[in-house]
Amino acid sequence: MKKNGLVYLMITGIFLGIFSGWMFGTSMLKVEWIGEMFLDALKMLVVPLIISSMIVGIAGLGDIRKVGKTGFIALVYFMVTTCVAVVIGLAMVNIIQPGIAVEMTVEHIPEKVMGKEAVGITDILKSFISPNLFESMAKMEILPLIVFSLVFGAVLTTLGESGKRAIDFFDTVNSAIMKIVHLLMYFAPIGVFALIASKLGAAGGGDLFLAEIAKIGKYVVTVISALLIHGFLVLPLILYVTTKRNPIIYFKNVTAALTTAFSTASSSATLPVTIECAEENNKVSRKASLFVLPLAATVNMNGTALYESVATLFIAQMLGIHLGFGEQVIVFLTATLAAIGAAGIPEAGLVTMVMVLQSVGLPLEGIGMLLSMDWFLDRCRTTINVWGDSIGAAVIDNLEEKWIERGGKA
């Protein structure tokens, strides 16, 4: 089947999923298993894909200085876009003031974030290294796998002929996994349909959705409009200015990844599709997409950072607590860190938000007010996370090329 045809079917799957979940509510739970199978099949590919991608990506970059330069450009891109996202979030929440006149009706700390109070910066740093790689693989803890594969790949490049043989092995593994992704995409339309229909159904269908929106609708509007500004103005502008690529075409080419992100609410599970779209459709160089995208899916979360800043100010407004400029700077810093620390899995942002709330002394009970809508907003922010990652691959690829051209060498 033509790629475009598949993408149209995926979009149709999303709309049919929304329609069915909205109309038939909990009876759509009957198709939940289909969505879970699709999601599990994607997740099944993530660990071998990340390990082989990072090793091949780093080997493709060549010597360690090139890796350093690409890594540095990636870091700057991640930081700049995340910071801009938080600023947009803060600006919108200050303008719209969605928390004013909303009654705080939840009095307990949600189970999801219970016991997470102690999570701080040192815990985020500690999560980079794992004492047991197999345990990390089993638990799909991506950061330690990335760190290990980076070091492993870099060391392989120094081992001469035998190192090259090992790299060739991982190269073949990577190509095989990408072929499986290709095949799996034929199931994507039905998979995304089932994921959306069953999730909306589990949330009670259209009537309950509307009832929840009525309670915190202004907050939902604030988050979505800020995400749209970032996703449709800022990121495309960065893409155009740095690479001269047409953002509309670029967008069309990553639609499969964006629909997968919206349906799975997981950047990590979407990673196989994100890599496929970057490499195959948008012709980002293989070395850049393999090196940048696994990293980006784990640490670059524009949508999550933006969301955390809006949610924190929303809670403060709801409680009648004024956060001044200094406190908003603290929110800015901690929301950026919390997004870096959030895993690419559903509702991870809600958990790392504990750190942001605590930094300005807000009660964790506030998170309870966000729960009813978080499953939906999670999908929206994950889509922007993946969009930001995809644009990052092209931007970093281009800037790295220019840097090397200008220097004449690495």
Q: Which listed residue (304, 312, 328, 398) binds ligand ASP by CB under 6 A? A: 304
- Which residue lies nearer to ligand ASP by CB, 243 or 263? 263
| Helices 64-96 and 325-341: angle between axes, nearest 10 degrees | 130
- Which residue lies nearer to ligand ASP by CB, 243 or 309? 309
Neighbours of 360 (CB within 10 A): 19
- Which residue lies nearer to ligand ASP by CB, 243 or 390? 390
Q: Which listed residue (13, 189, 294, 346) binds ligand ASP by CB under 6 A? A: 346
Q: In degrees rounded to 5, what are phi and psi of residue 136?
A: -65, -40
Q: How far is the CB of 302 from ligand ASP (least distance, A)?
A: 10
User: In which region does residue 114 sit, left (phi positive, over 0), alpha (psi from -120 to 50) or beta (all else)?
Assistant: beta
Closest-approach residue to ligand ASP (CB): 349
Is 265 among the residues that bind ligand ASP (CB under 6 A)?
Answer: yes
- Which residue lies nearer to ligand ASP by CB, 300 or 317? 300
Annotate 114-137 with b (16+ C-beta within 10 A) or e (fewer): eebeebbeeebeebeebeeeeebb
Of 23-31, 202-210, 246-254, 375-383, the segment contacting ligand ASP by CB under 6 A is: 375-383
- Which residue lies nearer to ligand ASP by CB, 46 or 67? 46
Compute the distance between CA of residue 357 and CA of residue 323 in angstroms, rounded to an integer: 12
Q: How far is the CB of 381 from ligand ASP (least distance, A)?
A: 5
Residue whose C-alpha is closest to residue 150's, from 64, 254, 256, 33 = 64
Residue whose C-alpha is closest to residue 146's, from 287, 290, 50 = 50
Which residues are CB-contacts of 326 (< 8 A; sequence separation ≥ 6)? none
Retrieve residue 58's tokens: 């780093």
Of 50-58, 119-127, 246-254, 263-271, the segment contacting ligand ASP by CB under 6 A is: 263-271
Q: Which listed residue (57, 71, 344, 392) binds ligand ASP by CB under 6 A? A: 344
Compute the distance between CA of residue 3 and CA of residue 256 in angstroms, rounded to an integer: 9
Is 266 among the residues that bind ligand ASP (CB under 6 A)?
Answer: yes
Retrieve residue 194's tokens: 């089932």
Is 337 among the residues that bind ligand ASP (CB under 6 A)?
Answer: no
Q: Which listed residue (116, 230, 286, 381) binds ligand ASP by CB under 6 A? A: 381
Q: Which listed residue (348, 362, 367, 393) binds ligand ASP by CB under 6 A? A: 348
- CA 4, 8, 13: angle at the middle one, nearest 5? 145
Is 342 among the residues that bind ligand ASP (CB under 6 A)?
Answer: yes
> Contacts with ligand ASP: how many residues (CB under 6 A)?
16
Q: Can you give the binding site for ligand ASP, defined by CB under 6 A? A: 265-267, 301, 304, 342, 344-349, 378, 381-382, 385
